[in-house]
Amino acid sequence: MSESSSVLSQSALWRRLGLAHHNWPGRFTILLMSIMLLLVTQPMFSGHAFAQNFATAAISFVLLAALYAFRSTRGFFVIDLVLLVPSIGGRVALLFAPSPIVEVVSAISSCLFLAVTVIALVSRLFIVRSVTLDTISAGICAYLLMAIAFAYAFAVVELQNPHSFSTALLQKPVGSAAPLIASLHSFIYYSFVCLTTTGFGDIAPISEGARSLSVMESVFGQLYVAILIARLVSLEVAQSMMKERE
Closest CA to 169 of 157, 181, 193, 187: 187
Q: Give tens-digit pLDDT for 136-171.
A: 889 999 999 999 999 999 999 988 888 899 876 655
Would you call 12 exposed, middle or buried from its count of C-beta atoms within 10 A (0-12, 13-18, 19+)?
exposed
Closest CA to 41 of 26, 23, 22, 56: 56
Q: Give tens-digit pLDDT for 25-63.
A: 478 989 999 999 999 887 777 767 677 788 889 999 999
Residue 12: predicted pLDDT: 61
CB 40 within 8 A of CB 46: no
Give the whole-angstrom CA distance, residue 79 versus residue 90: 17
Domain ranges of the chain: 21-245
Residue 180: predicted pLDDT: 61
DSSP H stretches of helix in the chain: 2-16, 27-44, 51-69, 74-96, 100-127, 133-160, 179-182, 184-195, 208-224, 230-245
Going by pLDDT thresholds of 50, 70 and 90, the confidence category of residue 6 is very low
- Top-ranked range on mean pLDDT: pick from 60-64, 97-101, 159-163, 198-202: 60-64
Q: What would the mean pLDDT of 114-119 be, rounded to a whole number?
A: 95
Pick the more confident residue, 66 or 14: 66
pTM: 0.83
